[in-house]
Amino acid sequence: MQISFHGAADTVTGSRHLVQIGGQRILLDCGMFQGFKALRERNWQPPPRELVEADAVVLSHAHLDHSGWLPALVKHGFRGPIHASPATRDLAEVLLLDSAHLQEEDARRANRYGYSRHAKALPLYTRRDVQRTLARFQPLAPGRELSLGKLRIALTPVGHLLGACAVRLQSGNERLVFSGDVGRQDDLLMPAPQPLPEADVLLIESTYGNRVHPQEDAAARLAQIIRDTVGRGGSVLMPAFAVGRAQALLLVLQRLKAADEIPPDLPLYLDSPMAVQATALYHKHRRLLRVGAREADRLSDGVHMVGDMRQSMRLVRSRWPSVIISASGMATGGRVLHHLKAMAPVDKHHIVFAGFQVGGSRGAHLVAGAGEVKIHGEVVPVRAQVSQLEGFSGHADADELMAWLRGLRRPPRQTYVVHGEPDAADTLRLRIQDELGWQVRVPQHGETVDA
């Protein structure tokens, strides 16, 4: 078996691992690079032939750092099937179309205002490329096995996000398992990850490989923030990943309202067309969720779903205290930028980040206490309060990852730690080596190994 690490090997984004096993070349994930500019520039490099000529892609889940480069791969000539769980396929449609739309808009804006350094800014891919990509999807139900020649492929749910799964590739007695992103034991919406399948070679994510989530009650802290902010006439802005985190936050806010922890008549806005679509998919796939059908059905009760851009701009100008959930989650694009521009300079408001902020993103700068941020080419001063509530993270922390690994009966022959910033990946590597005594290493970007 041979593995080439084409992404998420020295960072948390751009997940792409090419595996040669059982006479097949399988690309595990095809994610977009995000964060630091040097990483984002990798999105513009043409893919090596071996990626374009892969026999199939197997997608762990729909987040863009795992799926967001698929349309570019198809644009470069990939013609194989893309296997993913049915819920992942549904979410990928929403996420990829939105991603294409954002890129088309960014290119248009850059051309109109002339702030691109290139003669003419082009989108990485268009909605047409996404449609061609969606046509290549072949849903694979978790727990079922798919045969490709001598190779068998299976998916195991791992919490984290609707449809998210670990991937197992098996040829004869050889088994490779790729964790994808691993969820938490007590996630708000998703059940705990199922046990890790037995593996000879294991690829494990390490987003929080060097951190343990705080024990604090994130919901109680959010309630406090909302009460304080609204009490002084301000509003709370929650940049949130439109798919997954936005729905989890709606659940928390509904519970806080029901318990009178925040004013029951406080207006809640979901200002992200993608989040509105994704919420509908959470309803559709509600049997995959941890919460009961009744609570799932009421996620958006009383929530103002902001539709077109005019409504969104009206909300930006509104002076009425409210809670606004808007995408993107790392404030790298989308409607949340208009809210940020209006709210960041005003000290009565509070900006609450609920998810992981990749290094180099606007969200990471804000969380680190930046005094100003650049938005649409303008410098915006930051006087509003900024908080990060890691308790709402959708990722297992280091202790949860270790507990999941301990569930294996036999150690893998070789473990590779992927999908982490360098310190996180190396810290998890050391724990696996010291606490479990396994053969483990962190691969380098672009490296090929015989495993």
Per-residue CA distances from 35 to 42, 124, 343 (Å): 11, 16, 23
Nearest-angstrom CA–CA distance, 430 and 24:
32
H or E stretch including 58? strand 56-58
Nearer to Zn ion, 328 or 414 (CB): 328
Nearer to Zn ion, 164 or 199 (CB): 164
Nearest-angstrom CA–CA distance, 232 and 234:
6
- The answer to whether 10 touches 183, Cβ cutoff 8 Å, is no
CB of 181 to Zn ion, least distance (A): 4
- The answer to whether 17 touches 25, Cβ cutoff 8 Å, is no
Nearer to Zn ion, 205 or 261 (CB): 205
CB of 160 to Zn ion, least distance (A): 6
Region from 125-133, 179-187, 232-240, 260-268 binding Zn ion, contact rule CB under 5 A? 179-187
CB of 210 to Zn ion, least distance (A): 18
Nearer to Zn ion, 11 or 20 (CB): 11
Region from 177-185, 201-209, 270-278, 341-349 binding Zn ion, contact rule CB under 5 A? 177-185
Nearer to Zn ion, 97 or 165 (CB): 165
Please give the single-letter amino acid code of residue 280.
A
Structure token pair of residue 350: 């509070």
In angstroms, how far is the first alpha carbon of the chain from the final one? Answer: 6
* Phi then psi dihedrals of residue 354, to 5 deg: -115, -5
Number of residues lying near Zn ion (CB under 5 A):
2
Region from 45-53, 147-155, 181-189, 438-446 binding Zn ion, contact rule CB under 5 A? 181-189
In this chain, which of 181, 205, 261, 397 binds Zn ion, going by CB under 5 A?
181
The verdict on 339 binding Zn ion (CB under 5 A) reads no
Nearest-angstrom CA–CA distance, 235 and 241:
19
- The answer to whether 345 touches 382, Cβ cutoff 8 Å, is yes
Residue whose entry in the numeric block shows the structure tokens 């949340």: 336
Nearer to Zn ion, 62 or 107 (CB): 62
CB of 356 to Zn ion, least distance (A): 9
How many alpha carbons fall within 13 Å on the CB side of residue 449?
18
Region from 80-88, 148-156, 178-186, 412-420 binding Zn ion, contact rule CB under 5 A? 178-186
Beta bridge partners of 145: 154
Residue 243 DSSP class? T
Nearer to Zn ion, 181 or 261 (CB): 181
CB of 417 to Zn ion, least distance (A): 16
CB of 260 to Zn ion, least distance (A): 34
Which residues, other chains included, contact 140 with Cβ-Cβ below 8 Å and sequence gap of 6+? 58, 83, 84, 85, 146, 153, 155
Structure token pair of residue 16: 């792409």
CB of 312 to Zn ion, least distance (A): 26
- The answer to whether 13 touches 41, Cβ cutoff 8 Å, is no
CB of 244 to Zn ion, least distance (A): 8
Nearer to Zn ion, 380 or 389 (CB): 389
Region from 28-36, 174-182, 419-427, 428-436 binding Zn ion, contact rule CB under 5 A? 174-182
CB of 170 to Zn ion, least distance (A): 24
Nearer to Zn ion, 17 or 63 (CB): 63
CB of 280 to Zn ion, least distance (A): 20
Is the omega angle on the peptide bond into residue 328 within 30 degrees of 0, that is, cis?
Answer: yes
In the sheet with 414-418, reading across from the earlier edge strand, the strands are 145-148, 151-157, 165-171, 174-178, 201-205, 414-418, 440-441
Nearer to Zn ion, 181 or 421 (CB): 181
For residue 143, is it left (φ>0), alpha (ψ between -120 and 50) or beta?
left
Site for Zn ion in 277-336 (CB under 5 A): none
CB of 60 to Zn ion, least distance (A): 8
Q: Of 210, 211, 167, 165, whose CA–CA distance to 191 is shortest?
A: 165
- The answer to whether 151 touches 22, Cβ cutoff 8 Å, is yes
Nearer to Zn ion, 63 or 431 (CB): 63
Task: Lay out the site mask for Zn ion across 44-83 (x = CB under 5 A, - = otherwise).
Answer: -------------------x--------------------
Nearest-angstrom CA–CA distance, 327 and 329:
5
Residues making contact with Zn ion (CB under 5 A): 63, 181
